[in-house]
Structure 1
Amino acid sequence: MDQLNHTWAQSFILAGFSAPGTLRPLAFLGTLCIYLLTMAGNLFIIVLVRADAGLSTPMYFFIGVLSFLELWYVSTTVPTLLHTWLRGRSAISAVACFIQLYVFHSLGMTECHLLGVMALDRYLAICRPLHYHALMSRKVQFWLAGATWVAGFSAALVPASLMATLPFCLKEVAHYFCDLAPLMRLACVDTGWHARVHGAVIGVATGCNFVLILGLYGGILRAVLKLPSAASRAKAFSTCSSHVTVVALFYASAFVVYVGPPGSRSEGTDKCIALVYALLTPFLNPIIYTLRNKEVKEAVKRVTVRIETILKGP
C-alpha cells in the first residue's frame, strides 16, 4: 500500500536544462520563436491543403494529417520546456505527468504509422499509377488516417499504464518532460521487466513501420530505375524526397533514444536528442514539404490571387 501511495500522492519535479541564469531568457525566447513558427508553418499547410483544389490529392491529404499531428505533438512537451526555461525546476502532478507521457508516445507512434502510410501512397502512385486513384480513394484515405491514430493511441496504453503502476521513491525527473527512461530511474523497484515490455511495444511500432517503409521504397527504386528517361526518373524521385527526409530525421533520433536499455546514455544526451524529435523535426517538416515544391508554390499563388480578388470586391 505504501508503494502505491508513492505513485499517486507525490508530484514530480522537472529538472529541465542546466544553464546559467543569464542564458535562460535567451533560451526561452529562442524556444518560443521556434514553437510559434512550428505552429504557424503546420497551420499554413493545413489551411493551404484545404483551400486549394490543386492540392486535393492523397499525398497532400496525408501531409495535412501529419501537420495536424505535429501541432499536438509539439504542444505536448514545449510548454513544459518553456516553463522550465522561465522558472527553472518545475513541479508537475503525477497524473499530469502520466497523461503527458501517454499523449506524447501516442502521437509519436501515430506518426510512425502515418509515415508508413505515406510511403504506401508513394509506392502506389509510382508503381501502380493506372490503379492509383481507385486504390487510394477518399474513403481509403480517411480509413488509413484513422487507423494510424487508433493504432498509435492503443499501443501507447501499454507503456503508460505500466509506468503508472510503478512505486516512485524519487521526485526529480532529469528531463524537461515526462518520458519513459527518466521516470524509470526514479522507481523504487527493479524496472528490467518494464523496460523489456516498453522496448517490445515501441520496437514493434517503430521497427515494423520502418521495415515497411524500406520495403516500399525498394519497390519504388526498382520501378523508377525502369523509367525510360532521366527527366521522368528525376520527377518520380522528387515526389519522394520530402518524405524520405522526414523519415530519416524522425527515425534517426527515435532509434538513438528508444533502442537499447534505458540508462545506457547520459541524461544530458537524452534531453538534447529529445529536442530534435520533439521540437526541431516538427519545425522542419513544413519547410521540408514546401521548400522547392512547385505544386505548393503554385497553390500559394492561386490562393493569394483569390484572396486579392475577394478583397478588391466586384
Structure 2
Amino acid sequence: MATKNKTEVTEFVLLGLSSRPEIQPIIFGVVLIMYLMTVLGNILLVVVACSDPMLQTPMYFLLSQLSIIDISLTTITVPQMLVHTLSMDRSISYNCCMTQLFFFMAVGSMEVYLLGTMAYDRYVAICDPLRYSAIVSHSLCLRITLTSWVIVSLNSLLYSVLVTRLTFCGNQVTHFFCDITPLLKLSCTRPVVNEMLIFTEGVVVVGSPFFFIWGSYIRIGITIAHMHSFAALRKALSTCSSHILVVLLLFGSLARMYLKPSSSYDLDQDRQVAVFYTLITPMLNPLIYSLRNQDVKGALWRLFRKLHTSDWLSDKQRIKNKLVRTKG
C-alpha cells in the first residue's frame, strides 16, 4: 500500500524471514523449538539463582535479571512471528507496531546496561576482592538496575516518538517484527534526524556501557597479568570468560545491525542478524553460564536432587496411605 501521508497507514505488513511458502513449516518448527529452549532455559536459571542459598550474591542477582531480559526480548518478537509464519494475514496495526518498537528497544538496550553492571561486579571481585562485599551489594545492583530502566525507557520513547512523526510511503516491512531500521527505510524522505540520533545520542546511550565494559576488562587484564598464583589466575579467567563471550555475541550482532550508514543497509541480511540477537543469543546465554560456571552447575544438581527426593518421598507417602486404606 503506497501512501503519501503517514495518517493513512493504519497497519503494516511484516514479511517475515522468508516469502517462500514451502519452507514456512520448517521455519515455524525450528523457531518454536529455539523459543521454548530459550524460555525454559532462562526460567530454570532464574529459579536456581533465586532459590539456591549458595547463589544469593549480587553476581547471580544480575544473572537472574539477564535471564528475565532474555525471556522478555524473545517474547516481544518471536510469538508474533510464529503466528505470522503459518498465517495468511501478516498484518500488525500501526499502534501495535509502535508499541512493539518501544518495548523492543527498551529491553534490548537494558541488556547492554545489565552486561555493563555485571562487568563492574567482575572488576571489583578481581581487582579489589577484599572490599567486594562492602562495595557491591544487592541494594547497589538494584539501584543501578532501576536507574538503567529509566534511561533506556526514555531513550526508547524518544526514538518511538520520532518514528511516529515520519511520513511512510509504504507499509510492507522487510522484517519479522517492527524494528527501527526497516521502518526508516519506508520513510518517504531520508530521516536525517533519526539517523543523526542513532549515530550520536544512540552511540552515547548504548555505546557507553560497551566502553565501560572494555575499560573494566582492561583493568582486570592488568590485574590478572600481575597474578603469581596459577590457581588465582585460573579462577579469574573462569569468572570472566562467560561474561566476555556473551558480550562479544551481543555487541557483535548489534554493531553489524545498527552502526552503519543507511545506504549500506541490506534488509535481508539484517533479518538474519536480528534472529541471532533476538533468539540465538538469549538461547545460548543459559548454556554459557551453566556449562562454564561450577557454582551454577552445582546449584542445578542440588535442585534436581531436591526435586527427585521430593518425588520419591511423595510416592512413598502415597503408597503408605494406600496400604493404610487397604488395611482399614
Indicate the TM-score class for this superposition, using the shorter chain for normalisation.
over 0.9
The answer to which of 302-311 and 86-95 deviates more is 302-311
Q: Which moved more, 1:156-165 or 1:240-249?
A: 156-165
Percent of pairs with identical residues: 36
AA at the equivalent of 2:71? L
User: How far does residue 107 in structure 1 lie from its aligned partner after superposition?
Assistant: 0.7
Equivalent residue runs for 1:135-150 within 5 Å: 135-150=135-150
Task: Deviation per CA, 1:10-34: give whole Å up to 9, x if none.
Answer: 2111111234322110110100000
Gaps of 5+ in 2: 318-328
Q: 2:4 touches 2:188 (CA, 8 Å); kept in 1?
A: no
> What is the deviation of 1:4?
9.6
Shift of 1:220: 0.5
Report the count of equivalent residues: 312
Decide whether the 8 Å contact of 1:46 with 1:67 is kept in 2: yes
Distance 1:113-1:4 versus aligned 2 partners, 3 A rule: farther
Q: Tell me whether 37-46 or 289-298 shows the greater mean CA deviation.
A: 289-298
Query: 5 Å matches for 1:47-126?
Result: 47-87=47-87, 90-126=90-126
> Which residue of structure 1 lines up, in the alignment, with residue 234 of structure 2?
234
State the TM-score, normalized to the length of structure 2: 0.90
Q: Which moved more, 1:262-271 or 1:298-307?
A: 298-307
SS of the equivalent of 2:190 reads coil
SS at match of 1:227: coil
CA distance in 2, matches of 1:76, 1:263: 28
Are 1:8 and 1:95, in contact at CA under 8 Å, matched by a contact in 2?
A: no
AA in 1 matched with 2:290: T
**Change in 2 beyond 3 A, CA 1:32/1:263:** farther
Q: After superposing the two structures, state which structure 1 stretch, 78-87 or 92-101, moved more.
A: 78-87
Q: Give structure 1 stretches of 5+ with no counterpart.
A: none
Correspondence 1:170 to 2:170: yes
Aligned structure 1 segments of 4 or more residues deviating by more than 3 angstroms: 308-311
User: Which letter maps to 1:42?
Assistant: N
Preserved contact between residue 116 and residue 213 of structure 1 (Cα < 8 Å)? yes
Residue identity matched to 2:279 = L
Q: Are 1:17 and 1:176, in contact at CA under 8 Å, matched by a contact in 2?
A: yes
In 1, the alpha carbon distance for the partners of 2:160 and 2:48 equals 35
* Match in the other structure for 1:153: 153
Residue range with higher mean Cα deviation, 136-145 or 24-33: 136-145
Aligned to 1:249: 249
CA-CA distance at 1:9 after TM superposition: 4.7
Question: Residues 187 and 204 of structure 1: is their aligned pair in 2 closer, same or farther, counting only changes over 3 Å?
Answer: same
CA RMSD between the two structures? 1.8
SS class of match (1:87): coil
